[in-house]
């Protein structure tokens, strides 16, 4: 892939998002963002720099991306504000994702347990968030989690993943007014739900089976309580999720109970079978809003797969893990540009930006392919403009080979 010209729309958008930066630096950041979209394979700074016909030393691109003169959280806030059409209502989804890396000199690098593969990996752990409102899906923030010992070693303040999640929720509410927050059982923590309560956000959270509830003065774990619910209470509900596992849990019922440390809650009981009462065949989702209909709780819960979809798209198509820097500040800057690329593509799938229109594409991967086609079209136009018809085909090919091999 050879890039003759960066689409003007991408450069203009970065100039709007970072108006205090010099035009040259905005162009470099546009080069990097476009490179994340169109580069096949490895998306290192050197590989992206090599895409461009008017390329210079990769150190220029490296300095622009890792410069301390622009703040990734400022970019994120401005991006969210600019590209979110419906800022009221909607759902904030908070989760974390692991990125396997090798590089013992990278800040925050360490051994982490991967629940999906049931093994320890070496890499980084990021707390991420996504805003969903109807057809809109806008990434919010990605913050690197440091273990307490690593934070102390680096002379940084330690923040737990729950504390980071609280910051994400508060920062999101400076721009958005979400109605709901949805999290898995790991993030069902007092500090986070109290933060949501203070912001007027209705939380919906999965709960572990050993959570304690009370009914008529009796104490039960959620699993124990589920065993006394008559099977006839359960109804079948269609699941609007891409998670194959969640699709199995289609039988549901609700109870209003007192939960230890929280108070009155509504508990959603989800079953994959109406005959097997063993642990693992029932899931629990909790909300403080006892007025929410069972259908609404299921609908909100089922949006959580969208953040997994975002993780997958960013890793497979946009180089989420293709950072090669020792300093965690550089990692954060890289991720803010990955989220910018993702947001631009999501917007372009719905509407044109300054004349740039993708056409038919349904996924981030297809959108990247469409951008590659537009870049190739731009290169073809450059060839036609540069090489007039008086030159022979052999002469044109000879000169093009010179460009590709230089």
**For 38-59, how does the pLDDT look when each residue is reduced to its tens digit (9 = 90+)?**
998 889 899 999 898 877 788 8
CB atoms within 10 A of CB 260: 10
Residue located via tokens 């993030």: 187
Report CA 12 to chain centroid distance, whole Å.
24
Contact yes or no for 286/274 (Cβ under 8 A): no
At 96 the three-state DSSP class reads strand
Give whole-number Cα distances, 9 to 96, 148, 353, 355, 401, in Å: 32, 43, 6, 8, 30
Indicate the pLDDT class of residue 403, thresholds 50, 70 and 90. low
The interaxial angle of helices 305-317 and 328-350, nearest 10 deg, is 110
Give the helix ranges, DSSP H, for 146-273: 148-154, 161-172, 190-198, 222-226, 244-248
Q: How many Å apart are CA 223 and CA 280, to the nearest integer?
A: 10
Backbone angles phi, psi at 207, to 5 degrees: -130, 150
pLDDT(405) > 80: no
Q: How many Å apart are CA 223 and CA 212, to the nearest integer?
A: 9
Mean pLDDT value across residues 113-142 = 90
Nearest to 222 by CA among 178, 292, 271: 271
Indicate the pLDDT class of residue 395, thresholds 50, 70 and 90. low
Please give the mean pLDDT across all residues of the chain.
88
Question: What pLDDT is recorded for position 400?
Answer: 53
Residues 242, 246, 247, 250, CA torsion sign? negative
Q: Is 217 exposed, middle or buried (0-12, 13-18, 19+ CB in 10 A)?
A: exposed
Mean pLDDT value across residues 130-145 = 94
State the Cα torsion 182-185-191-194 to the nearest 10°. 40
Q: What is the pLDDT of residues 200-217, one digit of tens each?
A: 999 999 999 999 999 999
Indicate the pLDDT class of residue 171, thresholds 50, 70 and 90. very high
Walk me through the domains of the chain, giving residue ranges and CATH numbers.
8-70+358-384 (no CATH), 74-310 (3.90.350.10)
Nearest to 127 by CA among 156, 159, 104, 157: 159
Spatial neighbors of 203 by CB under 8 A, at least 6 apart, are 180, 181, 182, 183, 192, 193, 196, 197, 287, 288
Q: How many Å apart are CA 318 and CA 210, to the nearest integer?
A: 39
Mean pLDDT value across residues 115-119 = 81
Q: What is the 3-state composition of the chain as percent helix, strand, coil, each rounded to the nearest 5?
A: 45, 20, 35
Indicate the pLDDT class of residue 388, thresholds 50, 70 and 90. low
Nearest to 286 by CA among 211, 223, 204: 204
Q: What is the pLDDT of residues 185-203, one digit of tens each?
A: 999 999 999 999 999 999 9
Total length of the chain: 406
Q: What is the pLDDT of residues 305-342, one digit of tens each?
A: 999 999 999 999 999 998 877 788 889 999 999 999 99
Residues 319, 97, 173, 69, CA torsion sign? negative
Mean pLDDT value across residues 113-119 = 82
Indicate the pLDDT class of residue 397, thresholds 50, 70 and 90. low
Question: What pLDDT is recorded for position 276?
Answer: 65
Q: Is the pTM of this model over 0.85?
A: yes
Q: Is 59 exposed, middle or buried (0-12, 13-18, 19+ CB in 10 A)?
A: exposed
**DSSP conformational letter for 157:** -
Report CA 361 to chain centroid distance, whole Å.
20
**Joined tokens for residue 326:** 């020792």
């Amino acid at each position: 892939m050879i890039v003759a010209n960066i689409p003007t729309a991408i450069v203009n958008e970065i100039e709007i998002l970072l108006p205090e930066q010099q035009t040259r630096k905005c162009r470099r950041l546009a080069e990097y963002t476009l490179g994340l979209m169109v580069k096949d394979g490895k998306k290192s700074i050197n590989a992206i720099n090599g895409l461009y016909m008017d390329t210079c030393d990769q150190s220029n691109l490296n300095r622009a991306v890792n410069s301390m003169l622009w703040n990734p959280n400022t970019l994120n806030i401005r991006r969210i504000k600019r590209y979110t059409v419906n800022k009221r209502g909607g759902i904030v989804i908070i989760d974390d994702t692991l990125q396997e890396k090798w590089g013992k000199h990278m800040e925050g690098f360490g051994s982490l347990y991967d629940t999906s593969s049931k093994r320890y990996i070496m890499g980084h752990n990021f707390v991420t968030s996504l805003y969903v409102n109807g057809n809109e899906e806008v990434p919010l923030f990605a913050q690197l989690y440091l273990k307490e010992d690593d934070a102390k070693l680096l002379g940084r303040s330690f923040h737990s993943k729950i504390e980071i999640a609280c910051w994400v929720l508060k920062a999101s509410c400076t721009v958005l007014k979400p109605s709901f927050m949805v999290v898995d059982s790991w993030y069902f923590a007092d500090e986070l739900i109290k933060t949501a309560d203070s912001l007027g956000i209705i939380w919906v959270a999965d709960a572990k089976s050993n959570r304690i509830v009370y009914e008529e003065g009796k104490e039960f774990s959620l699993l124990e309580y589920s065993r006394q619910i008559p099977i006839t209470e359960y109804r079948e509900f269609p699941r609007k999720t891409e998670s194959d596992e969640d699709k199995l849990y289609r039988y549901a019922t609700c109870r209003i109970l007192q939960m230890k440390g929280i108070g009155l809650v509504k508990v959603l009981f989800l079953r994959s079978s109406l005959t097997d009462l063993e642990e693992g065949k029932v899931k629990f989702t909790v909300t403080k809003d006892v007025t929410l209909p069972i259908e609404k709780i299921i609908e909100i819960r089922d949006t959580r797969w969208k953040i997994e979809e975002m993780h997958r798209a960013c890793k497979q198509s946009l180089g989420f893990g293709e950072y090669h820097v020792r300093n965690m500040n550089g990692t954060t800057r890289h991720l803010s540009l990955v989220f910018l690329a993702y947001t631009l593509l999501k917007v372009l799938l719905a509407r044109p930006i300054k004349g740039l229109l993708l056409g038919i594409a349904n996924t981030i991967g297809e959108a990247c392919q469409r951008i590659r086609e537009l870049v190739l079209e731009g290169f073809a136009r450059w060839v036609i403009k540069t090489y007039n018809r008086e030159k022979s085909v052999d002469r044109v090919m000879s000169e093009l080979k010179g460009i590709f091999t230089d």
